[in-house]
Amino acid sequence: EKEPVRYANLMYDRRVVRGNTYALQVIPVSTQPSPLEIQRQREARKRALARKHAKEQMQPRTPEPVEGREHIHVQTELYLEEISDRIIEVDTECQTDAFLDRPATPLFIPAKTGKDVATQIEEGELFDFDIEVKPILEVLIGKTIEQALLEVMEEEELAQLWAHQHAYAELRNAELAEVQRLEEQDRRYREEKERRKLQHMQMLQKQKETTEKIAARAFAQHYLADLIPSVFNNLRDSGFFYDPIERDIETEFLPWLMTEVEETLERKVLGRTMLD
């Protein structure tokens, strides 16, 4: 079976060549449409269906009947007619008279008007195609060659521009890589500098703390060298350091002895008093 002929606008037909034919792509007639064209057609059909659906939604409709009622079709014309499912049919007959064949229509010849006039044409007065077309061909060929030369020059200029752009892109990438390397090197130098400064500050802080600890220890030893004996002497004088036996004699034995001596003396005094 032959494929149906697809008619389209020549302005959008890809088989029609326009402009430069340097990069011409020959497309066969039986080529399947591109996926982009199929997608565009689908989207167009979807938009058409959406517009149709929106138009149907915007059309006014008869409201739904209330409960207990229903809608029926009513004729609103001026002249009513009976509506039935079966059309009324009536059979009639008639007889026509015999007719003769129609004669042929005579050829129409319009009436002659005006006057006949003649002229004489000499040799060389009419249009000579070979002679007249020569300057036109020269102009067309000259313009075609000029256009071709311009296109070739334009392509060479574009090639030079692309080569220059490629070289510039390579140089720019190399410069960017060098700049990134220098920035990374500078960052490492800064980090190393900050790390060394922090280590030096920590070392100075530790050295200062060590010096302060040594000075505090020496001061404490010098201060405590005379403080400890005086503290012990004061505590001993205050009675915090004592002999347990001596303290027991002073607190227990001596008070008991004095009490016994006083009682004995009182008895002796009382006996002498009684004797007197």
Distance between CA atoms of residues 160 and 166, nearest Å: 10
Residue 83 confidence (pLDDT):
67
**Residue 71 and residue 62: Cα distance in Å, rounded?**
9
Residue in the block written with tokens 């990134």: 180
How many helices, marked H, and strands, marked E, lie in the chain? 4, 0
How many angstroms separate the CA atoms of 194 and 151, rounded?
Answer: 63
Q: Under a CB-based contact definition with an 8 Å cutoff, are residues 71 and 62 in contact?
A: yes
SS3 content of the chain, % helix, strand, coil (to 5): 60, 0, 40
- DSSP 8-state code for residue 29: T
What is the full per-residue pLDDT of the chain (276 aa) written as tens digits? 455 556 567 777 777 777 766 655 555 545 566 788 888 889 999 999 998 888 887 777 777 888 888 888 777 777 777 667 777 788 888 877 777 777 788 888 888 888 888 888 777 777 778 888 888 999 999 999 999 999 999 999 999 999 999 999 999 999 999 999 999 999 999 999 999 999 999 999 999 999 999 999 888 888 777 777 777 778 777 767 777 787 788 788 888 888 888 888 888 888 888 877
Return the SS3 of 27: coil
- Residue-wise pLDDT tens digits, 107-120: 888 888 888 888 88
Look at the alpha carbons of 76, 77, 81, 86 in this order and tell me if their dihedral is positive or negative.
negative
Distance, in Å, from the CA atom of 52 to the CA atom of 58, rounded to the nearest integer, reads 10
Give the pLDDT of residue 151.
Answer: 94
